[in-house]
Amino acid sequence: MQGAVVPMSEVEPGCHLGSGCGFPAPDASIFDIEPYFGNFTKPVFLLLLGSLLIIIFFLAAFRRPQLIPSKLQSIGEMGYLFIRDGISREVIGKDGDRFVPLLFSIFFFVWIGNLWGIIPGAQFPVNSRFAFPVGLAITVWCIYMFLGMRHQGPIKFFTNMMFPPGMPKAIYIILAPIELISNVLVRPVTLSIRLFANMFAGHLLLTVFTVAAFYLASPSVIGILGSATSFLMTVIFTAFEALIQALQAYIFTLLTAVYIAGSLHAEH
Amino acid sequence: MKAPKPTDREAPNVAWTVMNNLIAGILVYGGLGYLIGLWLGNAPVGLAIGTVFGLVASTFLIAFRLRQLDGGPNTQREA
C-alpha cells in the first residue's frame, strides 16, 4: 500500500509489517491505478466488462421469450418491471414508457459499475473515478435540457422553470435566478458528485478495514482482537456497501426520471 | 397535460431539490455579493452578506415549494 504512513503508537507491539512501521493509512492514491497499457486502466476494463456482462445477460434472458418464463427470463423481467413500474410509470407516468430503455440502461450500467467494488478480484467501484459519473450526468443533462426545450419550447422551458406559478410577483426577481441555476447548473453537479462521493467513500472505508485487518494480525492480544474486529467490520461494510451501491444506482435512475418528467410537463 | 401526483417515491427528489436550491442560492447571491463587494472595495464582506442572503432566499423558496406540495390550498389532506 503506497501513500501516507501514519504512525499509530497504540498498535506498535502488533506491528505486522516489520518493526517500527506505522499504520499504512490508505489515502486517495489507492484510486490511482497504473494503466495496463496506454490509457487503458482497470476502471475502463471493468466498465467494458460490466457492459458486456449486462448485454450478455439480457440477451440470454430475452432471446427466446416464453409465455411461461424460464428462470433467467423471470429475473430479466423482474429487472425490467422494476424500472418500468417502479420508476418510469411512477414518476413520469404512462407516456414515460418510451424512456424505459434509457432508464433501464442507466440503472444497470451504474449498478454494475458500483458492484465491481465488492466483487472479489475486481474490487474497484468504477464510479469512484469522477469522470464516469460526470459523463453520465452530462448525458442526463443533455437529455432533459433537449426534452424540455422540445416539449415546452426553447424559451418557455426556461421561463416555466424560473417562474413557478403561485408566488408573489415581487419575489420572482430574487428567486428566479436561484431556480435557474439550481435546475441548469447545480443538478448535474450534485447528480455526479453524489454517486462519485458515495463510491469513493465506500471504497476507502473498505480499504481501511481490510488493511487494518492485515496490519494488526500479529501474536498479541491487541493484534488478534483488532485484526478480528477489523475483519468483521470489513464483512459488515461489504454488506453495507452492497446496499449503498444498489441504492445509489436507484437514486441516480430515479432522479434522471424526475428530471425528464420535469422537462415533459411544466410545473403547475 | 397533468403532472403525476407527488408520491412517497418523490421523497428523495424533494430532499435533493432542497439541497440543489440551497447550493444555487449560495452560488447566485454569494457570487453576486462577492462581485458587489469587489466593486465597493470589500469583497469578503460582500461575499458573506451575499451568502447569507442567498441562504435566506433559497430557504424561502423551499418553504414555498413544500407548502405547495403538501398542505397547500388544493391538496387532499383530509381525504
pLDDT tens track for A184-241: 999 999 999 999 999 999 999 998 888 888 887 777 777 788 888 999 999 999 999 9
Per-residue pLDDT tens, chain B, 79 aa: give them.
444 455 555 566 778 888 888 999 999 999 999 999 999 888 889 999 999 999 999 998 888 888 776 655 544 443 3
- What whole-number distance in Å separates Cα of residue A131 and Cα of residue A139? 12
How is A195-226 classified by DSSP, letter by letter? HHHHHHHHHHHHHHHHHHHHHH-SSSHHHHHH
Residue B34 belongs to domain spanning: 18-70
| Residue B22 within a domain | yes
| Cβ separation B57–A258 shorter than 8 A | no
| Residue B65 within a domain | yes
Angle at A246 between CA A114 and CA A101, to 5 degrees: 90
Please tell me which residue of chain A has the smallest CA distance to B1. A265
pLDDT in tens, A60-109: 888 887 777 788 888 888 999 999 988 888 888 888 889 999 999 999 99
Residue A197 touches chain B, beta carbons under 8 Å: no
C-alpha Rg value of chain A to the nearest Å = 23
| Residue B76 within a domain | no
Of B2, B12, B29, the CB nearest to A254: B12
| Residue B43 within a domain | yes
| Residue B12 within a domain | no
- What whole-number distance in Å separates Cα of residue A244 and Cα of residue A143? 26
Overall domain count for chain B = 1
- The pLDDT value recorded for residue A36 is 84
| Residue B5 within a domain | no
| Residue B1 within a domain | no
Please tell me which residue of chain A has the smallest CA distance to B55. A178
| Cβ separation A178–B54 shorter than 8 A | yes
| Residue B7 within a domain | no
Per CB-CB distance under 8 Å, the chain A contacts of B68 are 164, 166
Q: To probe the interface with B, which of A88, A147, A173, A174 has the most B CB atoms within 10 Å?
A: A174
Q: Give ipTM to 2 decimals.
A: 0.72
